Amino acid sequence: MRKKESYRPRTRLVHEGQNRSSFGETSEALYLTSGFVYDSAEQAEARFREEDDGYIYSRFGNPTVRMFEERMMALEGAEDARATATGMAAVTAAMLSLLQAGDHVVAARALFGSCRYIVETLLPRYGIETTLVDGRDTDAWEQAMRPTTKVMFLETPSNPVLEVIDMQAVADIAHAHGARLVVDNVFATPILQRPLDFGADIVVYSATKHIDGQGRCLGGIILGNEAYVRDELANFMRQTGPALAPFNAWVMLKSLETLPVRVDAHCDNAEKLVDFLNTHDKVGRVIYPGDKTHPQYDLACRQMTRGGNLIAFDVGADKADAFRFADNLHIAAISNNLGDAKTLITHPATTTHFRLDDAAKAELGIRPTSLRVSIGLEDPADLVEDFERALDTI
């Protein structure tokens, strides 16, 4: 593609990174190979010395994986990236590439369950201390800072109750203390929110969610500046091996072509469902960053172009009501995954966040009546009817 930097994002999502083989294929090629051969022993030597920039081994890099990375870099406005086998591999590799024993991490307490495990349980085992704060409270971030703080970590909107965190405020605190901000941008997607524009240093994704978007493959990616990827991340990835498989990279790469169209349709559907839920008398609290009733609506509007496809809401009076509602949905399936073309609903208190004690759940606003729904791409009128019918059973 010529002069690609001048094209708009949707064009770049269809073309960026394509590296055509001598066959001139239209669709990006899938290089399903673990290794690469050299023309000579001399070339092999030069490649290991990094004097020749061909591929060596797919744990270090692969042409299909690189096409996915380059397309994501264009979308995110990042200088470089490394794709990973899963979203959790991305979070773990990002953290471990930045930290060593004696360092300190400050993280928002409202995190995806496994991210909270990494920060709260795993890192301390290796001598890295962590402090969890209410991410919405800027003073709490500032007060948690120590001379050894190297990383701040957050997701916004957060899982499962969609708290919004002021990324620029947290980034300013991080930078004033010589720390770096890592943002898990899964819920917003790279279409609706670009954390690098709000001061984040590193952005991580589970590509398993909206980027694949059709519930097929696991994947992840870490994006940042060139110096970080070259000096801190690349060798960590190469030696420890959380590489993305070429097949999964190919699925993700092709999915990026339709990501803006899908995310827009997801948001259209979610807005219709929010309007319905807001008026139903068996539905309590409805939390959606794109709705004026969200307590941080103004901040959400500053950071995100639309509200996304996740809605948190309370149904009935107790857990039994929430379960009855979920069990009586016909279209929406019970699943803890999200960002799928299929509408998926989960009861966070007994699934994704069941490990948290009652006090921690209460602190995060996860109630026995709370459900989190990932709105899919079905006809919204069918979804509204499905929800209405299920609500009638309680």
Ligand X SMILES: *Cc1c(COP(=O)(O)O)cnc(C)c1O
Under 8 Å CB-to-CB from 297, ≥6 apart: which residues?
Answer: 289, 291
333 vs 15: CA distance, rounded Å? 34
Q: Which residue is nearest to ligand X (CB)?
A: 87
58 vs 248, beta carbon nearer ligand X: 248
91 vs 167, beta carbon nearer ligand X: 91
Choose one: 57-65, 125-133, 162-170, 182-190; the region binding ligand X (CB under 6 A).
Answer: 182-190
Q: Which helix (H) or strand (E) holds 81?
A: strand 80-84
115 vs 173, beta carbon nearer ligand X: 115
83 vs 218: CA distance, rounded Å? 11
Among positions 86-145, residues that touch ligand X (CB under 6 A) are 86-88, 91, 112, 114-115
160 vs 368, beta carbon nearer ligand X: 160
Q: Is 159 in the site for ligand X (CB under 6 A)?
A: yes
Task: Determine whether 153 is exposed, middle or buried from the number of CB atoms within 10 Å of its CB (0-12, 13-18, 19+).
Answer: buried
Q: How many helices (H) and strands (E) does the chain have?
A: 17, 12
Work out how close the CB of 349 gets to ligand X at its nearest, in angstroms, rounded to a whole number: 17
104 vs 209, beta carbon nearer ligand X: 209
With CB under 6 A as the contact rule, the residue among 16, 103, 155, 201 that binds ligand X is 155
Choose one: 16-24, 41-49, 142-150, 180-188; the region binding ligand X (CB under 6 A).
Answer: 180-188
Under 8 Å CB-to-CB from 151, ≥6 apart: which residues?
Answer: 95, 98, 99, 103, 105, 106, 179, 180, 181, 182
Tokens for 349, please give them.
């208190």
350 vs 361: CA distance, rounded Å? 11
Among positions 292-331, residues that touch ligand X (CB under 6 A) are none
Half-sphere exposure for 61 (CA within 13 Å, toward CB): 16
104 vs 145: CA distance, rounded Å? 8
Q: Is 265 in the site for ligand X (CB under 6 A)?
A: no
How many chain residues interact with ligand X (CB under 6 A)? 17
Q: Is 190 in the site for ligand X (CB under 6 A)?
A: no
Choose one: 21-29, 146-154, 181-189, 355-363; the region binding ligand X (CB under 6 A).
Answer: 181-189
Please, are residues 328 and 388 in contact by the beta-carbon 8 Å criterion? no
7 vs 117, beta carbon nearer ligand X: 117
Q: Is 370 in the site for ligand X (CB under 6 A)?
A: no
With CB under 6 A as the contact rule, the residue among 173, 186, 249, 283 that binds ligand X is 186
Choose one: 47-55, 80-88, 193-201, 323-331; the region binding ligand X (CB under 6 A).
Answer: 80-88
Choose one: 82-90, 134-142, 172-180, 371-379; the region binding ligand X (CB under 6 A).
Answer: 82-90
38 vs 117, beta carbon nearer ligand X: 117
Tokens for 155, please give them.
């997701």
Work out how close the CB of 156 gets to ligand X at its nearest, in angstroms, rounded to a whole number: 10
259 vs 390, beta carbon nearer ligand X: 259
159 vs 346, beta carbon nearer ligand X: 159
| Alpha helices per DSSP H over 287-357 | 297-303, 319-327
Please, are residues 219 and 99 in contact by the beta-carbon 8 Å criterion? no
Q: Is 206 in the site for ligand X (CB under 6 A)?
A: yes
Please, are residues 211 and 255 in contact by the beta-carbon 8 Å criterion? yes
Work out how close the CB of 345 gets to ligand X at its nearest, in angstroms, rounded to a whole number: 15
Among positions 9-68, residues that touch ligand X (CB under 6 A) are none
With CB under 6 A as the contact rule, the residue among 218, 267, 283, 299 that binds ligand X is 218
What φ, ψ does residue 265 adopt, rounded to 5°?
A: -65, -40
Tokens for 24, please give them.
């001139």
Work out how close the CB of 337 gets to ligand X at its nearest, in angstroms, rounded to a whole number: 8
118 vs 322, beta carbon nearer ligand X: 118
How would you list the strands of the sheet with 310-315, edge to edge? 283-287, 310-315, 370-374, 344-346, 333-334
314 vs 194: CA distance, rounded Å? 30
- Contacting residues toward ligand X, per CB under 6 A: 86-88, 91, 112, 114-115, 155, 159, 184, 186-187, 206, 208-209, 218, 220
